[in-house]
Amino acid sequence: MNNEELALSNESGFQGDWKSIFHRDALIWASHEYDTDSIMKPLAEFVFTLSSQFRLSPAIEFTTIDTLELLLVRAFQGWMQTSSTFPDAFERHKTAFLRQLPLYVVAVFDIVTKYNNLGLKLDLAAMKRAAKVSGSTSANMLSVEFEVIKILDSELRSSLLLGAFERFCKEYLLPLNIESKEVIGSIGMKLLRLAVAERALVYDSLKTSMKDKECFRRFKSNKLILAGAIIITILYLIPATRNSNAILNQVVVPLADDCCVQATNLIYLRDALLRVIGGQ
């Protein structure tokens, strides 16, 4: 399976009120107090490596990342409740959980693969070896998956970020005929991976532009806005459209309306992405 392939995932369908799920998601992520940026960079890069090694689709790759981040937040919330009674419980739970993180990564990969494609069966033994799951932590995978589902409270859905990106590609980029679907998909996948792994770097450069911390948290949590910024970043990275203000305006104005922000916000975020690319 080509892990650069552009497709239309489950959550990016053209149902009537398709934006509502993105707005609910942004409110949920903006409301929790756990900063996952520092742990998500190595975790995302770990997921990218395994996805490439096992030739898994972008839908599985990015849904696994989203699910792992939700798992971390839900686990942190549970530990905080326990620590109100037992003060040292949070650190003990956190240490034990992070020690077994490679095992949870494999478990989430397996859950997400079944969710996305029932006909696809992972080679769990090979993935455990690739993830360097040690013998001492190699528990029964089914019991680990049940534990993950319990922590998530059975909540699982396809990656909203990938879904928004795919939708916007089909609506705004492909009709321009500026590059092939394959080239656009390849550039887009690289930008998505960069945006997820380097989230702290991308958004930290914009903190001074937003004095309202809650407003900034909502902006940072909104996957529609990030997907929109990636679309216009692709326009900049393609030589044929890099210096075309006419094409940029043709895309960014309706795109910003779809993202429910001003066009300048998408351009600010595009520039932040380009700064991270330039610094690598």
More confident residue, 68 or 96: 68
Q: What is the distance, to the nearest Å, from the Cα of residue 275 to the centroid of all Cα atoms in its chain?
A: 20
Instruction: List phi, psi (to 5°) of 92.
Output: -65, -45
Mean pLDDT of 262-273: 95
d(CA 57, CA 51) in angstroms, rounded, equals 7
User: 106: closest CA among 120, 80, 85, 125?
Assistant: 125
**Residues 195/41, Cβ–Cβ less than 8 Å:** no
The span from the CA of 7 to the CA of 257, in Å, is 23
Answering whether pTM is above 0.85, one says: yes
pLDDT value of residue 12: 42
The answer to whether the CB of 161 falls within 8 A of the CB of 44 is no
**Residue 161: which H helix or E strand, with range?**
helix 160-168
Domains of the chain, with CATH numbers? 37-152 (1.10.472), 160-278 (no CATH)
The pLDDT tens digits for 197-222 are 999 999 988 877 777 777 888 888 89
Residue 222: how many other CB atoms lie within 10 Å: 25
**Among 118, 102, 108, residue whose Cα is nearest residue 151:** 108
Type of residue at 8: L
* SS3 annotation, 195-263: HHHCHHHHHHCCHHHCCCHHHHHHHHHCHHHHHHHHHHHHHHHCCCCCCCHHHHHHHHHHHHHHHCCCH
pLDDT at 215: 82
Average pLDDT, the chain: 85
Percent helix, strand, coil in the chain (nearest 5)? 75, 0, 25
Does the pLDDT of residue 121 top 70, yes or no? Answer: yes
For the chain, what percent of residues have pLDDT higher than 90?
Answer: 55
Phi-psi group of 86: left, alpha or beta (phi > 0 → left; psi -120 to 50 → alpha; rest → beta):
beta
CA diameter of the chain: 61
